[in-house]
Amino acid sequence: MLTRTASYTRLAIAHTAFTNGAVPIVNTLFGTPTLPGATMHFERNNEIYGEGEPADYVYKVLSGTVRTSKVLNDGRRQIGSFYLPGDTFGLEAGDEHTFCAEAMTDASVLLVKRSTVAAEAQRDSHVARELWAVTARELARAQDHLMLLIKSAQERVAAFLLEMAERVPDQAGIELPMSRQDIADYLGLTIETVSRTLTQLESKAAIELPRSRYIVLRNRSALARLNA
């Protein structure tokens, strides 16, 4: 079960973000150009923050892709979300991160201090409103994710493909930034089941698999019909 290790280079971002080669710039976390932050780069599979670390920053993907995940004590991993450019992550109700965050591909990420966000939200009701909206959308996403996990393997994979198709701009097909293991851990399945299910969908002519990381949706309504 622990064959899934990866040589993650642990970066103590939260504590060194502004002293360890980060480039402090004035930028924006929530659309209006108000919140000062710093951008950092992360290489593929490097940790952005760990589970249980103090949640001192809020993060926004500038480029690349990020996953959040949590590992149970026996090695099972659940992916909370995938984050694409423009997405905000790392918001917490409490004072520490309940999931860890890792760069799925090389990524640049904007960091804004949580205290800055809080102060600005107090001062400016537009920022407060935006902060709430981001959190509420995250909640809606988690609730959708919940619904996924009671469905059959085909339904889960179909829903995943439709979700990704909606989120990535590319029209022709989906360039997947994540591995089969990531997909499996997002959907609560094994890599074998994900792989087999994709093969089944291909033989049903619902999708095409030119390369393993590139998927063309041939028949969206068939996929949507799988979505109970």
Partner DNA sequence: CGACCATTTGATATGGATCAAGCGATGTGG
Partner DNA sequence: CCACATCGCTTGATCCATATCAAATGGTCG
The residues binding DNA (CB under 7 A) are 152-154, 179-181, 188-196, 198-199, 209, 211-213
Q: Does 145 bind its own copies (CB under 8 A)?
A: yes
**Residue type (1 letter), 32:** T
Q: How far is CA 228 from CA 38, 152, 156, 158, in A?
A: 43, 10, 10, 10
Please enumerate in sequence order all residues whose Cβ is within 8 A of that of 24, keeping only pairs 6 or more positions apart, or say none.
18, 36, 38
67 in Cβ contact with 178 (< 8 Å) = yes
Q: How far is the CB of 30 from DNA (least distance, A)?
A: 33
Q: Does 224 bind its own copies (CB under 8 A)?
A: no
> Could you tell which of DNA, its own copies, none binds residue 146, using a CB distance below 5 to 8 A set by kind?
its own copies
Q: How far is the CB of 160 from DNA (least distance, A)?
A: 13
Contacts to its own copies from residues 61-120, by CB under 8 A: 70, 72-74, 76, 78, 80, 91-94, 98-99, 118
How much of the chain is helix, strand and coil, in % rounded to 5?
35, 25, 35
Q: Which residues bind its own copies (CB under 8 A)?
A: 70, 72-74, 76, 78, 80, 91-94, 98-99, 118, 121-123, 125, 128-129, 131-133, 135-140, 142-143, 145-147, 149-151, 188, 228
